[in-house]
Amino acid sequence: MAARILAVANQKGGVGKTTTSLSLGGALARKGKRVLVLDLDPHACATLHARLYPETVTVSLYELFVAKESEWPAVWEQLIHTQAISGMDIAPGSIRLNDLEDVMHNRTCKGTILARAVRKVRDRYDFIVLDCPPHMCLMLVNALLASDLLIIPIQTDFLALHGLRLLFDSLHTLNKVLPSPIRYRAVATMYDKRAKACMHVLDLLRKKMDGAIFETVIGVDTRFREASALGCTIFDIDPKSRGACSYADMAEEVLKLW
């Protein structure tokens, strides 16, 4: 069966997007799934997390987007870093992704490049996780159109609700021209059960999302920062930690969706 494509996105930074991409990918890999992570964010946080540095990355997702369709198979072979982090393959991002809007200004069908390109490798994996940029751009449009499920990490903070509104405005615009609406599900992140504000925001999210939210809630855990500093996932630090157990539970929820 071809890989399921999970786009992890929110039009607000600092909500746990890259942490969710890598931790959920790591959890799926631990369950025996073949996982590829595509770093579509020009900040390349997932790439750096995997200890793939700009000076050593010769081929990034920028090269895939600007390549001709006939060149995609060869680019994929150079692009994918096998087992780069915690049992997952990584396709690195680059600051050059910021230039795509101008470079591809006159290119036709530019919003579906990723959906078409990923077909070349989709049979190799069970899940392909897209770590998306935190703003509406060509990369995010490509990710949304390629995805089987949009996962929206939402920090349990009132300011994070603004980013959710922006993303839904974008989804509404895209859904007007799509044959079927983009499927989505939110996940509450950075939850502190000691804070009444977090509890209130979580209640609001569950009401607003009308069932389109994971039961799993990702709590605050310092092990996430430790994992980032060491270039691994939280499962390599402490697989029994709260954060690791939460993403393991979320992975089980994802697996039940298909």
Work out the average pLDDT over 147-167. 83
What pLDDT sits at residue 163?
66
Burial 60-89 (b: 16+ CB within 10 A, else e): bbbbbbbbeeeebeebbeebbbeebbbbbb
Q: What is the pTM of this model?
A: 0.95
Domains of the chain by range and CATH? 4-255 (3.40.50.300)
DSSP 218: E
Query: C-alpha 43: how far from its chain's center?
Result: 13
Cα separation values, 65 from 5, 122, 198, 217, Å: 18, 17, 39, 35
Helix axes 17-30, 242-255, angle to 10 degrees: 70
Is residue 146 predicted with pLDDT exceeding 90?
yes
- Read off the tokens for 237: 């630090």
Element containing residue 35 per DSSP (H, E) = strand 35-39
Q: What is the pLDDT of residues 174-222, one digit of tens each?
A: 888 888 899 999 999 999 988 888 898 899 889 888 889 999 999 999 9
Beta-bridge mates of residue 235: none
Is residue 11 over pLDDT 80? no
Alpha helices per DSSP H over the chain: 17-30, 45-49, 61-66, 72-79, 100-103, 113-117, 138-146, 160-175, 196-208, 223-230, 234-237, 242-255
CA distance 47 to 211: 33
For the chain, the average pLDDT equals 93
Q: Is 217 helix (H, G, I), strand (E, B) or coil?
A: strand
- pLDDT, one tens digit per residue, over 22-57 is 999 999 999 999 999 999 999 999 999 999 999 999
Question: Beta strand pairing status for 81-85 and 88-91?
Answer: antiparallel
